[in-house]
Structure 1
Amino acid sequence: MIKIFNLFVMLHVLTLSAQQVKKPKLVIGIVVDQMRYDYLQKFKKQFGSKGFNRIIKNGTTYENAHFNYIPTYTAVGHASIYTGTTPKNHGIIGNNWYDKYNDKSVYVVHDNSYKTIGSFSNEGKRSPKRLIASTVSDQLKLAQHFKGKVIGIAIKDRSAILPVGHAADIAYWFDGGKIGNWVSSSYYTEVLPSWVSLYNTMNKLKLSEYLTSPWVTRKKIHKYTESRDDFSEYEGRFNGEEKPVFPHDLGALKDKNGTYDLLKNTPFGNTMTLDFAKEIVKNETLGKSKKYSDFLAISISSTDYIGHKYGAGSKEIEDAYIRLNNDLNDFINYLNRKVGNKNYVMFVTADHGVVEIPNYLMEHKIPGGYFSKKELFIKLNQFMDKTYGSYSLIKDYSNEQIFLDHIEIDKLGLKLEEVQNQLINEIVTYPNVHRAVSAYAMQNAEFTKSPLSLLQEGYHQKRSGDILLTLEPTVISDYYTKTGTTHGSGYNYDTHIPILFYGGNIKKGKKVKRPVNITQIAPTLSNILQIQEPNMSSHEILTEIFESN
């Protein structure tokens, strides 16, 4: 009897172990564009038991997760999350950057080699060619001999393309204007799946409903207690709108705001993204294979558009997250019905945070300010003329990086390192500049403390400039002097984001307070999928999600 009991116990343990290492049939990545970690706490009561709070209760939450590089931009964030490494390796140093070899500015996913699939615009001339590293989904494709499906979706093209890497089956993004279609690139296919073409046609009715209805708050506006007064002179306005206040009359505004593009700047952009994601799950039968795992990368873009326009403390942001919370909860319910709650693993994170509107901060005696790229360029050229007798030594200034003309420096018989150091000594005397460092220092020293360590992780030897600088806290581009705000720094408001894991055998109700980095997501997913991690990935995994429940 004892032997039989011991055999039963052993079989039970083996069964539990098998369940714990069982690969998910579907992995879903959700990146919320411009979501600060503190939103989870700020809007906790507004979320109720749904959405984000549901994931936190039934999953693992990392409360002290940060980006470990500068700059914190959309393309860079998405690339870093899915490759498991930083710009110094994967090569995505901005949304746009100056190509010093071809002497022009480039957009991260633009590629004239391809055409639009799904409309007659140029929005499909896109590919992931500038991404140097592999993604976790690339590795999944390799591990499964290119079986199983990998699909990306976002309103923004870069947010759909970069997460799913080079070997994806397809990526979709939204072509707004007068078109209003989900489109793709001939990099992936020569024709949209028939169900997508039909969906685009049928979806026009829903999009028209959004555009003819006012954007009003989901709850009574007096219940929005986690945001400032509805009217603020520092918030942006839609073209044709007198004040940035609810309700926003979309029907009256659509013609002056790009028709379907207007939806990107409302919570309805998030809703239509997750609605399309449901259709992808259904029509592509994701999570239904008995042998292969599928991967769906979703990026929620409208939170970024809204945050830029209205700021982190606005009624519009509070409403956007209340609505997103409901949409997320509905999506989870859909997955549970279609895939089964034990058959998928989901993670939720963000590509960066955002700073509160500097004008608003300064009004309340909190330091902040604005920095002029134009003024910097003029002052630096005057300095170079005075010092070296030339106005032609600076080629470009972008993403807080200065690119020098190496050929001109050689012609004048100057030493590059000396010119870099002279510029640094000049720049750090300017108002609102915090630190400056040369490419030479990036290549010949190992920095361990912020901000230089963050700059070093964001520095790519072939693509980055000669001098990298950081601005003082809550100082942003003067593009936003009148209204709105932005991101991109290495300060906590831009780097501190949530990392949530949910589904499958993920540890439930676990809250982790130790510091972790965004680059640990990809190797963790690789471990879950039992595949090789991306080729440049961090080796550190988030072990807490594997603890037995």
Structure 2
Amino acid sequence: MRRICKSLSALALTGAMLQAGVLRAQKPVDRPKLVVGIVVDQMRWDYLYRYYDRYETGGFKRMLGEGFTCENTFITHLPSFTAVGHSTIYTGSVPAIHGITGNDWTDQVTGRHWYCTEDTTVQPIGTTTDAGKMSPRNLLASTITDELKLATNFRSKVVGVSLKDRASILPAGHIANGAFWLDDSNASFVTSSFYMKDLPEWVKTFNARRVPAQLMSQPWNTLYPINSYVQSTADDVRWEGTFAGETTATFPHNMQDIYPKDKGSLRSTPSGNTLTLEFAKAAIDGYKLGSSAVTDFLTINCASTDYVGHKYGPNSIEVEDTYLRLDKDLSAFFRYLDQKVGKGNYLVFLSADHGAAHSVGFMQENQLPAGLPEGKMMEGLNNMLKERFGVERLALTSENYHIGYDLKTIEAKKLDYDAIKKATVQYLQKLPGVEFAADMDNLGNSPLPEPIKSMAVNGYNPKRCGSVIIIPEPGWYSGSSKGTTHGNWNPYDTHLPLVFMGWHVKHGYTNDVVSMADIAPTIAAMLHIQMPNGAVGKPVQAVYK
């Protein structure tokens, strides 16, 4: 009898232990319902505070008031361009590893020019133009969005949204449910056969609403009285660009007349951000993001800040107005997330892909050093190389601040490649506005100071970059005298906002230096998933509880 009782007790204990084990096995990892990554194109760090007193409580102020801000977040690679920045944020890596070394590049092996998301093997979906022939295949590393899909055995849903193809595709990664971008030719959000065979019904419904035409049916005027824009220069200055048909760069911009003739003009207005965030809401509804037992991920790029910045420059009323309107759009978007997903149930981060320099004209007018390189640099360089080495057009490309060469001719004629690069460096360093030039293959012998040297190394992929890099003087950049651009190592191009808000985020800030490549590892640590496979960043532990 005792033996029977002991056996029954043992069986009961074993059953209880098994049941407890099963229950423990079924308890899910603590994760948010939804992660939202917002990358504001060309957003300099100082925009968080330059217009702070004009922001409403629910947008940027809410993020700063409730969330955690990393005040010294920097890009640690060169060049500081759009595709490169998005890829770095979501891979936690650098261009040398993830392979996206510019918005375009020339393959140094084949000589073939590539756009960063170009894919000749796919078909456009939602359009008949080449705008749909895109995919993430040129990205060589996994993304945090990929790793979330892998961690949940592909149950998580991942969606990318932007006006720009590259800013939708690269963040969403290789195994996203969908990535969508705007085709100006039909004013619709489109995708490619890499993701699906047909547009989802919710996308067709959204496109049928003709939201772009509605947004462009009114003039772009200032949100507030124009004389209240005290953080900006006068409305009409010589270094600001214009829309086609305009005679001055002044408000109002008559978009109802401009847009029918130039569908791409929407991008250079605040309405482009409004459209993007409205489409992001539709994506949340369409894919039911944040409504299942596993975490979903939505990547959003607000791209119009970049287009407006390029056209008008950082000190324009247009840029100030764009950020005030974006702030209102973000406020409405966060309220939508509160209602749809639940406050505290979603994790959001906001950063930028790069910053921007002040306009050259603005700097020169205010006695700051600035300038544009001479336009015939490559002609002069090739003339010098021909004189020295007896061959025409040895230097073929000057992309992304790198000089690339005719390697086949150099090899066929048995020319001294190191001597060619040395002559190039000596020539370039004599040009106005060039602070340094360096041979990337012999960087150890270069006088490049830190952190520029490390940034050059982080950005150098020998298959996709020319072998001589150019570092302009501060305030100098390759671009137009109208508006501005970006791409260099200087803080105006590389000092970024980085704010986390929501699920398990502490309220506070740090002035410690943080890298753009730290964002993906931080999200990975918070979600308890593997870092992307090329990640070199590290978690910012101060962000989370």
| TM-score of the aligned structures, taking structure 1 as reference length | 0.92
Q: Which amino acid aligns with 1:308?
A: H
Do structure 1's residue 36 and structure 2's residue 79 form an aligned pair? no
1:221 matched to 2:223 = no
Aligned to 1:505: 504
Identity value in percent: 38
Q: Which residue of 2 aligns with 1:471?
A: 472
Q: Which amino acid aligns with 2:326?
A: L
Paired with 2:390 and 2:448, the residues of 1 have a C-alpha distance of 34
The whole-number CA distance in structure 2 between the counterparts of 1:143 and 1:354 is: 36
Q: Distance in 2 between matches of 1:148 and 1:475?
A: 45
C-alpha change, 1:307 and 1:539, in structure 2 (3 Å) is: closer
Distance 2:228 2:474 in 1: 32
Contact 1:447 1:453 (8 Å CA) reproduced: no
In 2, distance between residues paired with 1:514 and 1:20? 33
Quote the offset at 1:490 in angstroms. 0.5
Match of 1:332 in 2: 334
1:143 is aligned, of 151, 175, 184, to 151
Counterpart amino acid of 1:27? Answer: V
Equivalent position of 2:437 in the other structure: 436
Deviations 1:42-95 (A, max 9, x none): 000010323001111100001111100110000000000000011011000100
Q: Is the 8 A contact 1:442 1:459 kept in 2?
A: no
Task: Give the Cα–Cα distance (whole angstroms) in 2 for the partners of residues 500 and 297 of structure 1.
Answer: 15
* Conserved? CA contact 1:152–1:172, under 8 Å: yes
Q: Residues of 2 paired with 1:26 and 1:244: CA distance? A: 41
Structure 2 residue 262 is the aligned partner of structure 1 residue 264: no
- SS of aligned partner of 2:364: helix
Give the match for residue 118 of structure 1. Answer: 126
**CA–CA separation in structure 1 for the residues paired with 2:451 and 2:169:** 30
**1:488–1:429 CA distance, 2 compared to 1 (3 A):** same
Higher CA-based Rg: 2
How far has the Cα of 1:105 moved from its partner?
1.8
1:92-122 deviation digits (Å, cap 9, x = unpaired): 0100111222323211011111111112222
- How many Å apart are 1:159 and its aligned residue? 0.1
2:265 and 2:428 mapped to 1: Cα distance? 40
Secondary structure, counterpart of 1:49 in structure 2: coil
CA offset digits 1:191-230 (Å, max 9, x no partner): 011111111102x1x3222222000111111211111111
1: distance between equivalents of 2:207 and 2:230? 38
1:408 maps to 2:409: yes
Q: Aligned residue for 2:492?
A: 493
Q: Could you tell me which residue of structure 2 aligns to residue 185 of structure 1?
A: 192
What amino acid is the match of 2:217?
T
Distance 2:444 2:528 in 1: 35
Q: How many Å apart are 1:439 and its aligned residue? A: 2.5
Deviation at 1:488, TM superposition (A): 0.4
Stretches (4+) displaced over 6 A: 443-448
TM normalised by structure 2 equals 0.93
Q: Does 1:249 align with 2:250?
A: no
Q: What corresponds to 1:315 in structure 2?
A: 317
Structure 1 residues 444, 87: CA separation in 2 closer, same or farther (over 3 Å shift)? Answer: farther
Offset of residue 38 of structure 1: 0.4
State how far apart, in whole Å, the 1-side matches of 2:433 and 2:28 are: 52
Equivalent position of 2:357 in the other structure: 355
CA distance in 2 between partners of 1:352 and 1:314 (Å) = 18
The alpha-carbon distance between structure 1 residues 31 and 148, as it changes in their structure 2 partners (threshold 3 A), is same
Q: Deviations over 1:122-141 (max 9, x none)?
A: 21100111100100011111
Question: 1:62, 1:252 → 2: CA distance?
Answer: 42
Offset from partner CA, 1:335-363 (integer Å, 9 cap, x none) = 00000112110000000000011012111
**Distance in 2 between the 1:273 and 1:444 partners?**
47
Give the 3-state SS of the residue equivalent to 1:172 in structure 2.
strand
Change (3 A) 1:409 1:121: closer
Corresponding residue SS for 2:498:
strand
| Residue number in structure 2 paired with 1:285 | 288
CA-CA distance at 1:409 after TM superposition: 2.0
Q: Which residue pairs with 1:397 in the alignment? A: 398
Distance 1:443 1:37 in 2: 32
- Between Structure 1 and Structure 2, how many residues are aligned? 519
Shift of 1:442: 4.3
Partner of 1:3: none
